[in-house]
Every structure is written in C-alpha cells, then in structure tokens.
Amino acid sequence: MPHETPAPERHLVRYSGRGSFSPWIIDRAKGTSVFTEDGRELLDFTSGQMSAILGHAHPEIVATVREQVEKLDHLYSGMLSRPVLDLARRLAESLPAPLDKAMLLTTGAEANEAALRLAKLVTGKHEVVSFARSWHGMTLAAANATYSAGRHGYGPAAPGNFALPVPDRYRPGLVDADGDLDWRRQLDLGFDLIDAQSVGSLAACLVEPILSSGGVVDLPPGYLAALKDKCRERGMLLILDEAQTGLCRTGDWYAFERDGVVPDILTLSKTLGAGLPLAAVLTSTEIEREAHERGFLFFTTHVNDPLPAAVGNTVLDVLTRDRLDLRARELGKRLRGGLDELARRHPVIGDVRGRGLLVGLELSSEGDTDELGAAVTRRCAELGLHMNIVQLPGLGGTFRIAPPLTATEAEIDRGLSILDSALESVTAG
C-alpha cells in the first residue's frame, strides 16, 4: 500500500526561516547516495548535514551500533564505560600537547556551550569574540556567538559578544596596494574596535579554521597564529570549532595543523560521530584542573554515553586504517581540478576555494546570485545530485561541497558532470 505523503507543514515545525524541507521523502541511504520513497537516487555531496564522512550505513558503523546497543547504550552520567575511556584517550593521542583532557557530548552547539563555559570560568571573564559570519549553534552562548543567522526577534543577546571581520580573500573588506586582502590590517582594526567596546572582560575567541556556513572561507595562512597572539595579549583563550573540518575532512587530521597553532580548547562534533550525535571538548590538564577547582558544571543527560562513544572509536579505526586523511587530499585534488575546469568553461563561476573535501564554489552574476544558486541547486537535484547553498543573503550563490571521504573517483566525476549539466541548463535559460 503506498504511503500517504501529507504536506510537511501539516505536523512539522519549520525550523529554518530561509530554507524549506526538500520535496522528497528519503527512504534509505547507502554509501554516497540517498534514495527516495519514489525510487530516485541522489548523490550526496553534503555528507548528510556535513557529517557522514564515512558515507551512509558504513558496515563497520552498523556493526558497532548493533553490538553496542545490545551490550551497553546509556548510563547515569556519573558512570564511566570502556568505550568512553578509550575514545578520550585516543582523541588526546591524536592531538598535540597540551590537549589531553576530553569531555564527550552530543552536538556541536553543546560542545561550544561547554567550551565557552570553561573559558569564562577559568578566566573569570565573560566577553566572547567570533566572526561576523559565524555559525556555532543554537543554544544560548553558542547562539550569541553566531552572527550568520538567528539574531532577530528573540530579544536582547547576552552582553559582551563581539563580531570580528571575516578575512574573505574573494570579498576583501580591506585591501593592500595590490588589491589583495590585507588581513593583518583588518585583524588589527577588528581588535581596535573590540577593545574600544570591551569592559575589560575578554574571555575567549571562538572561530572555525574554515568558516563553512559563512561561505567556505579558509583563513589565510598566518591568520590563526596572529589571532592567537591577539588572544594571548588580552588573556583570552582561543577556542577552535572543528565541527566540519576535524578528522581528515581537509586532508589533515585537524585543520589547525596546517598553521601549527594549537588552540586552548578544541571542539569536535559532526565528523566525530560520522552522522550520529557525538561531540567532544578537548583542553589541557591545566585548564581542566582550574575549572574543576572552581566548580565547573556541565552535567547533561547524555554526557559520556557509551553507545555514541563506541561509534566514535570505530570512526577513528576506519580513518586510521584507511588513511582517509590522504584519501581526502587525493579526492580533494580531483574535485578541485574538476571544479577549476568548470570555472574555465562557465564564466558564471566566480571562485573555487577550500581544502581537501570541504570546497566552496561561488557563483558570480550581474543578477541575483541567491536566485541563481537556488536554480542550480534545483536543477542538480533533478539530475540526481544533492548540493547545499549557503543560507545567507548575498551568499546564496555559494555552494558547500563536502562528499564523504569514502566516495569513489567515479562518484566525484559523476557529481562534477551533473553540476556541469545543471550550470549549462540554468545559464542557458
């Protein structure tokens, strides 16, 4: 008997003001594809919600879930299990010193909330700096540090949150004599303004190494080091949000490795659970001890749950064994080369940027790029490719392209071919 498909709005709360539900009901997913109830296959170039780095229904993840849920799924939050102890140790071992203490949570917002709470307690301060196109989550402190969306209509934000200009090389705010982004002067000016507004209580700077929802903006080499210097001068802690960039996505295990800058606090989420709800906060023994002595409290229902921790261990197993950091570099070169070739043949492509398998493609048009981006997205879907555009006014022509690290060369090529046809179709029309 066929399923009745009522309008989504009939019983579901719409949780994105700018976006809408996709028109299909998804029945199942496998590898790099999702399949609708009416039998269509869509190549998934967003890894679900930028999370499923091992693709959908990876056999080892499936086996882990089946085994672990029968043995031990959830505990009182004060109890510990072997999967939690193992994952905390392995994450610490994958990171440079002094990041050797871990806390396991569920979502990126929750991890950023805990990180900011740590920073405020340890520094005794409350002010937070983040990028003007940031997205760090929808819980209280994370939402106050989010500037890309969701600030209007909810009453006053918490005091002491400041926005820092985005060092966007394609859309530079300040330029040097050659017309290139002058990010050092921009950073200096940004902190001059922050210092003027601060009440002397700067606690933390929370940023992504590559702004994803903000347009796939890769921080220029040297920027993170300069930012950490700004933090150190003011007694602030540097928090890096690697929800989308962590665990091999960019071709390195962690995106900050390229710059040789170690944060005071690191947050992981999306990629850590490979699509399941798992997040982590990592910091130093010194910061953890200071926080504990001051009575740090972040007691949640699912802190240190064994089931997602077991999944996290399997994710690390697969990433390590299959050298998916190198795989992301190789596939990233193939994807980037294909997109550069499309840019040569489609003048409407203004910029291609990113690292590894987190790539941004920005359309450039004399008309409405938001409308153009939406049209290309629709046409890609009609042809069998799921793409995601940045949901920011004026940036709706920017695609976030993030296939699973387990994608094949043939799937990368198929996605590029579909995008080529969609661009041809839409621009011709």
Task: Give the 3-state secondary structure of 130-169.
Answer: EECCCCCCCCHHHHHCCCCCCCCCCCCCCCCEEEECCCCC
Write down the mean pLDDT value for the chain.
95
Active-site residue flag, 49: no
Distance CA 405, CA 55 (A): 7
Distance CA 244, CA 425 (A): 31
Question: What's the burial of 284, exposed, middle or buried (CB within 10 Å: 0-12/13-18/19+)?
Answer: middle
pLDDT of residue 21: 82
Distance CA 88, CA 94 (A): 10
Distance CA 426, CA 429 (A): 5
With a cut of 50, say whether residue 1 has pLDDT above it: no
Q: How confident is the model at residue 29 (pLDDT cuts 50, 70, 90)?
A: very high
φ and ψ of 196, to 5 deg: -65, -30
With a cut of 80, say whether residue 391 has pLDDT above it: no
Question: What string of DSSP letters covers 167-230?
Answer: --SSS-SSB-TTSSB-HHHHHHHHHHHHHHH--S-EEEEEE-SEETTTT-EEPPTTHHHHHHHH
The residue assigned the tokens 């269509």 is 40
Active-site residue flag, 183: no
182, 241, 252, 264: the catalytic one is 241
pLDDT of residue 145: 96
pLDDT of residue 5: 55
Ordered by where they begin, the domains of the chain are 8-57+323-428 (3.90.1150.10), 72-321 (3.40.640.10)
Mean pLDDT of 375-383: 95
218, 244, 259, 351: the catalytic one is 244
Q: How confident is the model at residue 3 (pLDDT cuts 50, 70, 90)?
A: low
Q: What is the pLDDT of residues 285-343, one digit of tens each?
A: 999 999 999 999 999 999 999 999 999 999 999 999 999 999 999 999 999 999 999 99
- Using left for φ > 0, alpha for ψ between -120 and 50, and beta otherwise, residue 88 falls in alpha
pLDDT of residue 2: 55
Could you tell me the CA-to-CA distances from 359 to 19, 165, 252, 403, 412 in Å, in that order?
21, 21, 14, 9, 13
Strands 127-131 and 161-164: parallel
113, 127, 208, 259: the catalytic one is 208
pLDDT of residue 126: 98
Active-site residue flag, 230: no
With a cut of 70, say whether residue 101 has pLDDT above it: yes
Active-site residue flag, 232: no
H-state helical runs in 346-389 = 369-383
With a cut of 70, say whether residue 66 has pLDDT above it: yes
Active-site residue flag, 400: yes
Which residues, 6 or more positions from 164, have their beta carbon under 8 angstroms from its beta carbon? 129, 130, 131, 132, 187, 190, 191, 194, 205, 207
With a cut of 80, say whether residue 365 has pLDDT above it: no
φ and ψ of 106, to 5 deg: -115, -50
With a cut of 90, say whether residue 266 has pLDDT above it: yes
pLDDT of residue 211: 97
Mean pLDDT of 120-138: 97
With a cut of 80, say whether residue 106 has pLDDT above it: yes
Provide the b/e sequence for 145-181 (b: ≥16 CB within 10 Å): bbbbbeeeeeeeeeebbbbbbbbbebebbbeeeeeeb
User: Lowest mean pLDDT: which of 4-18, 81-95, 111-125, 314-328?
Assistant: 4-18
Distance CA 100, CA 96 (A): 8
Strands 237-241 and 202-207: parallel
Could you tell me the CA-to-CA distances from 306 to 53, 68, 277, 363 in Å, in that order?
21, 8, 12, 44
pLDDT of residue 19: 59
Could you tell me the CA-to-CA distances from 157 to 140, 153, 206 in Å, in that order?
9, 10, 17
User: Lowest mean pLDDT: which of 22-26, 162-166, 247-251?
Assistant: 22-26
Maximum CA extent, the chain: 68
Tokens encoding 316: 């690390």
pLDDT of residue 298: 97
Q: How confident is the model at residue 394 (pLDDT cuts 50, 70, 90)?
A: low
Mean pLDDT of 144-148: 94
Active-site residue flag, 120: no
249, 270, 329, 353: the catalytic one is 270
Tokens encoding 370: 């938001």
| pTM of the predicted model as reported, rounded to 2 decimal places | 0.96
Tell whether the torsion through CA atoms of 407, 409, 414 and 415 is positive or negative: positive
Distance CA 211, CA 35 (A): 30
Mean pLDDT of 4-19: 72
With a cut of 80, say whether residue 17 has pLDDT above it: no
44, 100, 125, 135: the catalytic one is 135
With a cut of 70, say whether residue 18 has pLDDT above it: no
